[in-house]
Amino acid sequence: MQLNIILAGVGGQGILTIASVINQAAIHKGLHIRQAEVHGMSQRGGAVQSHLRISARKIYSDLISRGTAHLILSVEPLEALRYLPYLAPGGKVVTATDPVVNITGYPNLEAIFAELHRTDRPLLVSAAEHARQAGNIRTSNMVMLGAAAPFTGMTPEELESGIEKLFHKKGADTIDMNIRAFRKGLELSQQQASDT
Return residues touching other proteins (CB under 8 A): 10-11, 23, 27, 32-47, 51, 59-63, 65-69, 78-79, 81-82, 84-89, 91, 102-108, 111-112, 115, 118-119, 169-170
CB-facing half-sphere around the CA of 119: CA atoms within 13 A: 27
In the complex, least distance from residue 3 CB atom to other proteins, rounded to whole angstroms: 15
- Among residues 65 and 155, whose Cβ is nearest to other proteins? 65
Q: What angle is formed at CA 191 by the lines to CA 186 and CA 192, rounded to 5 degrees?
A: 100
Indicate the residue among 27 and 175 with the shorter CB distance to other proteins. Answer: 27
Q: Which of 17, 3, 5, 4 is nearest to 143 (CA)?
A: 17
The CB-of-102 to other proteins minimum distance in angstroms stands at 6
What is the amino acid identity at position 113?
A: F
**Nearer Cβ to other proteins (63/193):** 63
123: β partners? 94
Smallest distance from other proteins to CB 91, Å: 8
DSSP state of 186: H
Residue 92's identity, in one-letter code, is K
Q: How far is the CB of 135 from other proteins (least distance, A)?
A: 17
Q: Measured from the CB atom, is 33 or 128 closer to other proteins? A: 33
Residue 49 one-letter amino acid: Q
